């Protein structure tokens, strides 16, 4: 059964204007999309993956270099995910045509001449945070983003359990920059200072919020007692499909002991009309020795707890939400800026 886009509901009584990119199920925007864990594609192995409705094949050569191609052999359309890596080339299972990392056919067993059109499309691929990321266009403006606080450091990475939402990922990503819900749901003071920095060339937007914690709720009391009266965090959006959240910025335990910031990545992947996959990734700077091991464990588990504390309270909202922004308030300035930022992204050559 075909799934109806949520934006189409209630149009006769509550019409919603379709955005060019934001919350638009018909557009797959360019960006680095999470395609799986690095460990899932071994040396000399090919693996099929469906990414935003596009059939792809990931494969490694004997030196561990990773490549990504459109999945169907341009000869008769055999899925290259069934192929084999031979002499650092991807060989089609059916007629043994071989392809290089650029998708060009370099060998046809039955003849020496290779037709010029015997090629399939290749895509930029990057490995970072122990994960594989694919960019659905020829040239990305830059590598996948990261966290400034741990840039260039040896990192410890852990993957949370992936889950789905019945909502567009552009909407679920707003969760971290909505000051009103920080007060109403989480008990954090809405009187927050807000900083917004946008980099059009690199397709990044950084939004930081800082303010006092309201001690009238359980969550607010926990924050106030452990971390003091001030609370701050930042969210970096990369092409509006990956969110890099940093918690506990400039925070001291019980007002004395400096605490390391906590980092988590929200990797989003649209699954089709009405469904989004969310992959949480927890990151911390790797520390050495027994005490370092303990600190690593504490940081990763605190990050995991922070994620579940936020998601458990917010998650149910997005499973029946039909987002529109007709009545945004001045306090919703981060949300409005984010929507403008998303609408400037370019559509990818992929479609559902």
Average pLDDT over residues 240-247: 93
Residue 253: is its pLDDT beyond 80?
no
pLDDT tens, residue by residue, 107-124: 999 898 999 999 999 999
DSSP letters spanning 239-287: TTTEEEEEESTT-EETTTEE---EEEEEEEEEEETTEEEEEEEEEEE--
Local structure of 333: helix, strand or coil = helix
Residue 84: is its pLDDT beyond 90?
yes
- Name the pLDDT band for 306 (thresholds 50, 70, 90): confident
Average pLDDT over residues 287-308: 91
Residue 252: is its pLDDT beyond 70?
no
Predicted local distance difference test score (pLDDT) of residue 1: 37
- Provide the residue ranges of all domains of the chain, joining segments of one domain with +: 40-123, 148-343
Residue 125 phi, psi dihedral angles, 5° rounding: -135, 145
Exposed, middle or buried, 277 (CB in 10 Å: 0-12/13-18/19+)? middle
Quote the mean pLDDT of the chain: 88
Q: Are 16 and 9 in contact (CB under 8 A)?
A: no
pLDDT tens, residue by residue, 196-227: 898 888 889 998 887 766 566 665 666 667 76
- 82: nearest Cα among 90, 136, 50: 90
Predicted local distance difference test score (pLDDT) of residue 247: 85
Predicted local distance difference test score (pLDDT) of residue 307: 84
Which range among 36-45, 159-168, 217-226, 293-302 shows the weakest confidence by mean pLDDT?
217-226
- 253, β-bridge pairs: 257
- 165, β-bridge pairs: 276
DSSP letters spanning 157-215: EEE---EEESS-HHHHGGGGG-HHHHHHTT-B-S--EEEEEEETTTTEEEEEEEEEBPT
- CATH code given to domain 148-343: 3.90.380.10
Q: Does the predicted model carry a pTM greater than 0.75? A: yes
- 259: nearest Cα among 235, 288, 280, 284: 284
Structure tokens at 67: 């490549």
- Cα separation, 65 vs 105, whole angstroms: 18
Local structure of 231: helix, strand or coil = strand
Predicted local distance difference test score (pLDDT) of residue 106: 96
**Would you give the distance in Å from CA 138 to the centre of its chain?**
19
Which CATH code, of 1.10.3720.10, 2.102.10.10, 3.40.50.150, 3.20.20.70, is assigned to 40-123? 2.102.10.10
Residue 254: is its pLDDT beyond 70?
no
Average pLDDT over residues 143-148: 94
Predicted local distance difference test score (pLDDT) of residue 195: 85
Q: Above pLDDT 70, what percent of the chain?
A: 88
- Cα separation, 195 vs 197, whole angstroms: 7
Residue 148 phi, psi dihedral angles, 5° rounding: -60, -35
Residue 60: is its pLDDT beyond 90?
yes
Which range among 16-20, 123-127, 167-171, 282-286 shows the weakest confidence by mean pLDDT?
16-20
- Cα separation, 339 vs 22, whole angstroms: 6
Predicted local distance difference test score (pLDDT) of residue 71: 96
- Name the pLDDT band for 313 (thresholds 50, 70, 90): low
């Amino acid at each position: 059964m075909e799934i109806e886009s949520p934006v189409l509901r209630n149009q006769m009584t509550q019409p919603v204007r379709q955005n060019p990119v934001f919350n638009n199920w018909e557009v797959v925007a360019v960006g680095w999309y999470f395609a799986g864990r690095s460990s899932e594609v071994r040396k000399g192995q090919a693996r099929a993956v469906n990414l935003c409705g596009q059939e792809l094949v990931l494969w490694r050569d004997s030196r561990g270099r990773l490549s990504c191609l459109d999945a169907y052999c341009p000869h008769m359309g055999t899925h290259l995910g069934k192929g084999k890596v031979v002499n650092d080339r991807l060989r089609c299972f059916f007629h043994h045509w071989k392809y290089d990392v650029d998708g060009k056919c370099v060998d046809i067993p039955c003849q020496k001449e290779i037709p010029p059109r015997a090629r399939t499309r290749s895509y930029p691929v990057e490995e970072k945070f122990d994960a594989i990321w694919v960019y659905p266009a020829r040239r990305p403006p830059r590598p996948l983003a990261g966290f400034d606080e741990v840039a260039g450091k040896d990192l410890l990475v852990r993957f949370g359990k992936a889950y789905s939402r019945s909502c567009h990922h552009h909407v679920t990503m707003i969760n971290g920059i909505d000051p009103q819900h920080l007060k109403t749901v989480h008990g954090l003071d809405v009187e927050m200072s807000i900083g917004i920095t946008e980099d059009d060339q690199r397709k990044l937007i950084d939004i930081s919020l800082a303010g006092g914690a309201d001690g009238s709720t359980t969550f607010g009391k926990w924050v106030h007692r452990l971390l003091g009266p001030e609370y701050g965090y930042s969210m970096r959006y990369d092409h509006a499909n990956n969110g890099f959240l940093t918690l506990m910025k400039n925070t001291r335990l019980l007002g004395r002991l400096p605490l390391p910031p906590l980092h988590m990545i929200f990797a989003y992947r649209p699954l089709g009309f009405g469904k989004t996959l969310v992959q949480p990734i927890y990151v911390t700077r790797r520390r050495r020795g027994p005490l370092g091991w303990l600190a690593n464990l504490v940081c990763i588990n605190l990050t995991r707890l922070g994620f579940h504390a936020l998601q458990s309270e917010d998650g149910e909202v997005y499973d029946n939400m039909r987002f529109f922004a007709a009545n945004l308030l001045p306090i919703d300035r981060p949300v409005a800026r984010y929507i403008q930022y998303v609408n400037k992204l370019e559509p990818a050559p992929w479609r559902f």
